[in-house]
Amino acid sequence: MSPKVQTGSLEAGALDIVRRLVEHGHRALWAGGCVRDRLLGREAKDIDIATDAVPEEVIALFQTTLEIGKAFGVIAVRSGERFYDVATFRRDEGGMDGRHPDRVRFTEEREDAQRRDFTVNALFYDPLRDELLDYVEGRKDLDRRLIRAVGEPRVRFREDHLRMVRAVRFASTLDFSLDAETADAIRERAGDITHISVERIYSELNRLWTESARAGEGLRLLRATGLLAVLLPEVHAMSGVEQPPQFHPEGDVFTHTAIMLDALPASPDPVLAWAVLLHDVGKPPTAEWSAGPKSEARWRFNEHDQVGAEISKTILRRLKAPSRMVESVEHCIRNHMRFGHADQMRESTVRRLVGHPLFPLELELHRLDCECSHGDLRHVQFLREILDRLRAEPVLPEPRIRGEDILSLSVPKGPEVGRWLRTVYDRQLEHPEATREDLLTWLRAERVREPASSSFPSGPLPVILNPHEPYAGDCPDV
């Protein structure tokens, strides 16, 4: 396991810190996740160092330090261009609020290992001696691909309730199984997760969806441990909601969603991951057994895209997700059914669709939705061909007609200006060869034919996708 150290690398900086601590008579080891990842052949994102040196001794030994958690024995030490967490071996005491200990007592490495969360995260490595130190059978659990709490799992989860979600995340991201006793303890204490800040929960869930090779397994494990019903009851409600087999041979809404999560690309955009998770969250409250105008009775989910968009906004705001995340996911969900009618849209509508900044994520959401249900990808191919055709020109070119042109036609200032701007811009998109003079001529004729009282699509010029655009035919509830 001896590291191949390159000058200036992550390992080189961590090795220098260990060497300096040891030269001054201290015990110093690499600890936790970096050791686990090295044993698994995964690249470590950071390296934490554990030592018997107390914070004041660490500060005295290094030129640049930050007291990021001095009360808990943690000092950030700069080595090269990076900062590394250097933590004193400790034992946590008190603090049964499920968030943090009341106090810590500095101790030795064996006791420090026994206060950590899971055995695979409680390993130490001496880089100077190339020696693995395992006090909790973490190496055995790595070989068994098992996430198991250190010691008594109920005690570990009582100390920090977030560890329950972390257990699921580690099992999913590492593609490990969850130890049966550890899983039982989570089921017993799942309700305690409400005592944890939503910001910490959001961060864990975000990592679960974006770092897992099969995020759907993480979703299934959240449900199996009882955490999903507490954290995301709206998603849990998708379980058992039947779908028409001609469109969804894979099963109910929850099954479809889990399969889509499993099919996410590696390290997906978080917006896409959350949109996949929540794209059908509006189906449970809209489920109805009914017949369409031209078809037999089946399960239908009318307006589930609109209802789901509102539910997704509620969920993400509850988790205090960033505003951009809330707005982007809501947009993707609100519009995800439109792609099934792309070949029936006007040229201007298709251009607006393709020209939206979120279009690549929307198209990927639609691809996953179809691929993980009925398998019909013709609209994905259609839109990709549109993209190829438009590569040589701006998808949404600069408007050739401006507000002052509209006002010159005696249109009063106000909403009518925006409506006429949108109308003439649609004309420009439908007829890209039209010059500015052509558009003005057409606009004057339309102004005479359709006075200001005429009804036009409402809203300002910026691209707004209308989820209620009419379409022909019956639509699969994908």
**What b/e string do you get for 317-343 counting C-beta neighbours within 10 Å, with b at 16 or more?**
eebebeeebbebbbbbbbbbbbbbbbe
In the chain, which residues fall in CATH 3.30.460.10?
A: 10-144
Quote the pLDDT of residue 464. 32
Determine how β-strand 28-31 pairs with β-strand 131-133: unpaired
466 confidence band (pLDDT: 50, 70, 90): very low
Quote the pLDDT of residue 473. 31
Helix then strand count (H, E) for the chain reads 23, 13
In sequence order, the 6+-apart residues with CB closer than 8 A to the CB of 399 are 421, 424, 425, 428, 461
Give me the mean pLDDT over the 19-32 stretch: 98
- The answer on pLDDT for 35 being more than 90 is yes
User: How far, CA to CA in Å, does 309 sit from each of 12, 268, 313, 326, 381?
Assistant: 48, 20, 6, 10, 26
- The answer on pLDDT for 458 being more than 60 is no
In the chain, which residues fall in CATH 1.10.110.30?
A: 146-231
Strand partners, 76: 66, 85
Quote the pLDDT of residue 469. 36
pLDDT tens readout for residues 136-164: 999 999 999 999 999 999 999 999 999 99
CATH superfamily of 10-144: Beta Polymerase, domain 2 (3.30.460.10)
Average pLDDT, the chain: 88
The Cα 366–Cα 355 span in angstroms is: 16
CATH of domain 232-396: 1.10.3210
- The answer on pLDDT for 476 being more than 50 is no
In sequence order, the 6+-apart residues with CB closer than 8 A to the CB of 64 are 77, 78
Element (H, E) at 289: strand 288-291
In the chain, which residues fall in CATH 1.10.3210?
A: 232-396
Tell me the two tokens of residue 473: 């035919």
Q: Is the CA virtual torsion 100, 104, 109, 110 positive or negative? A: negative
What percent of the chain clears pLDDT 90, i.e. is strictly above it? 65
Please indicate whether residue 240 or residue 462 has the higher confidence score (pLDDT): 240
In sequence order, the 6+-apart residues with CB closer than 8 A to the CB of 1 are 38, 39, 125, 130, 132
Give me the mean pLDDT over the 27-34 stretch: 97
Tell me which residue has tokens 């409600």: 237
The Cα 360–Cα 249 span in angstroms is: 27
- The answer on pLDDT for 452 being more than 70 is no
Burial class (CB in 10 A: 0-12, 13-18, 19+), 176: buried
- The answer on pLDDT for 372 being more than 80 is yes
Element (H, E) at 349: helix 347-355
pLDDT tens readout for residues 348-362: 777 777 878 898 899
Give me the mean pLDDT over the 17-44 stretch: 96
Quote the pLDDT of residue 478. 52
- The answer on pLDDT for 94 being more than 80 is no
Tell me the two tokens of residue 392: 């040589």
467 confidence band (pLDDT: 50, 70, 90): very low
Report pTM: 0.80
Quote the pLDDT of residue 463. 35
Quote the pLDDT of residue 5. 59
Quote the pLDDT of residue 101. 74
- The answer on pLDDT for 10 being more than 80 is yes
Quote the pLDDT of residue 472. 29
Burial class (CB in 10 A: 0-12, 13-18, 19+), 232: buried
- The answer on pLDDT for 449 being more than 90 is no
pLDDT tens readout for residues 261-320: 999 999 999 999 999 999 999 999 999 999 877 778 898 999 999 999 999 999 999 999
Please indicate whether residue 478 or residue 239 has the higher confidence score (pLDDT): 239
CATH architecture of 146-231: Orthogonal Bundle (1.10)
- The answer on pLDDT for 395 being more than 50 is yes
Looking at residue 64, the DSSP 8-state letter turns out to be S
pLDDT tens readout for residues 44-79: 999 999 999 999 999 999 999 999 989 899 999 999
pLDDT tens readout for residues 425-438: 878 777 777 888 88
126: helix, strand or coil: strand
Strand partners, 103: 93
Quote the pLDDT of residue 330. 97
User: How far, CA to CA in Å, does 105 sit from each of 52, 54, 56, 73, 102?
Assistant: 12, 11, 15, 9, 10
- The answer on pLDDT for 339 being more than 90 is no
